[in-house]
Amino acid sequence: MQIVLISGLSGSGKSVALKLLEDLGYFCIDNLPAALLAETVELLQSEAHKRVGISVDIRGVHSLPALPDCVTDLKARQLDVRVLFLEAKNEALLKRFSETRRKHPLSVLYPELTVTECMIMERELLATVAGMAHRVDTSDLSANGLRGWVRHWLALDQSRLTLIFESFGFKHGLPLDADFVFDVRCLPNPYYDPSLRGQTGRDLPVVRFLEAEPAALHMYADIRDYLQRWLPAFDHDNRSYVTVAIGCTGGQHRSVWLAEKLAAHFAAERQVLVRHREGSTE
């Protein structure tokens, strides 16, 4: 049985991810208390379900502390358990709550708290869950982009460490899901060439521009060698994912080029995913 556990912050896109699983043929359960997880899995196994998607989040706040031990027990039974944690910046979450006119789930228990205070409390309560999951920052992801990212994630071999290269623009803020952040704003910027301004770091003219710059090639070599040296330590630590974020000013040219170049290098020996935060993931 493959079990996909979806958790994360309220308003971060959990319902979009769970609906995708349902569309892909998973048997899905929303808002399951963590204390019932083991019992529910046993029942679903007896009914011969092969792929299951379960949402466990702050709505079951009282049983959340039981979740890490439940996941450990399920994995010990040789089940394919994958945990996805969706999060977003407070500004993005506030905008979504405003657009949908929904209350924060914690406001039912704590009516005296503002939405922002509820979000702060939620982050604290879910910190342990986030630490055991693959985290995705959905602040700048469309629903379609999130669906594409989840599809790619489901296709991964969970027994191997996945190296994720994520480009982003500093003017839009740091990504929440990064393990390493490299700043490449010091490199020559193709944006100032009018013929390149509308292109991205995946387009050949931009690639040629940057690969003609010694500083860009030195930056690439330094980051490549740094990761090559330290990734084995993450293998020994039994990590499932390492996210390397590459940032330039707008997240369109330099960071995209470097993320693609690093991904191409490491794909020869590792499981690699690429995400360009300021553009489509598909």
Whose tokens are 């860009």? That residue is 216
End-to-end, the C-alpha distance of the chain in Å comes to: 28
Are the C-beta atoms of residues 212 and 188 closer than 8 Å to each other?
no
Residue closest to 20 by CA, chosen among 165, 212, 153, 196 = 153
CA distance linking residue 59 with residue 31, whole number of Å: 7
pLDDT score for 280: 45
| Sheet of 180-183, strands arranged across | 180-183, 241-248, 162-169, 271-276
pLDDT score for 100: 85
pLDDT score for 281: 39
- Chain centroid to CA 28: 21
CATH 3.40.50.300 assigned to 2-154? yes
Q: Exposed, middle or buried by CB within 10 Å (0-12, 13-18, 19+), for 187?
A: buried
pLDDT, one tens digit per residue, over 171-209 is: 988 998 899 999 999 999 999 999 999 999 999 999 999
What pTM was computed for the model?
0.82
Domain ranges of the chain: 2-154, 162-276
- In the beta sheet, which residues pair with residue 166? 245, 275
**pLDDT < 50: residue spans in the chain:** 280-282
Beta-carbon contacts of residue 227 (< 8 Å; ≥ 6 apart) = 163, 180, 244, 262, 266
- In the beta sheet, which residues pair with residue 81? 3
